[in-house]
Amino acid sequence: MQNQTQSWPNFLIRAATNDDLPQLQLIRQAAFTPVFASFRAILGDEIAAVTQANDDAEQADYLASLFAPDSGWELYTAVLSDKIVGFVSVQLNDKTGVGEIGLNAVHPEAAGQGIGTALYQFALDRMKAAGMRVATVGTGGDPSHAPARRAYEKVGFSAQIPSVYMYRLL
């Protein structure tokens, strides 16, 4: 991960450190609790109890894994008034020329201040500086992901391949 720092009008974006992980986990949990609740509401309790039972724990483990030196991901934080309020992960694939925005979140208390948009723009700038030719990001099509989709569109994401996950009880 490059040791990059960039100042915005009211916050700073910097490379994450291992010491940041506890705060990043709190942000992740606060941001994704409504998403997981939305999934439960869509799927119903019986299916969700089976398919979504470990989502929070698995996502927590995944976030921690991004700090591994061989993870292939760079992780950056947004700091507002000396407090981490958001993060974004970035993957750069030199072979394909595709950069990816991965797991990311802004604490709901800091939402609406342009932090997510700035994190995405920072990630795109990092990709461009690394020679990537295309940027990609995956997100949900459910109502709880609507704010994320709007933020991605604000920084220029427009081409989409819709996909649908279908479930049924057995």
pLDDT value at position 9? 62
What does the pLDDT look like over 72-122, one tens digit per residue? 999 999 999 999 999 999 999 999 999 999 999 999 999 988 999 999 999
pLDDT value at position 162? 85
pLDDT value at position 1? 47
Percentage of the chain lying above the pLDDT 70 cut: 95
Mean per-residue pLDDT of the chain: 93
At the topology level, CATH places domain 5-154 in: Aminopeptidase (3.40.630)
pLDDT value at position 106? 96
Q: Give the start-to-end residue ranges of the domains of the chain.
A: 5-154
> Residue 28: is it exposed, middle or buried by C-beta count within 10 angstroms (0-12/13-18/19+)?
buried
> Residue 163: is it exposed, middle or buried by C-beta count within 10 angstroms (0-12/13-18/19+)?
exposed
Confidence check: pLDDT of 61 > 70: yes
Which residue did the predictor score with more confidence, 89 or 160?
89
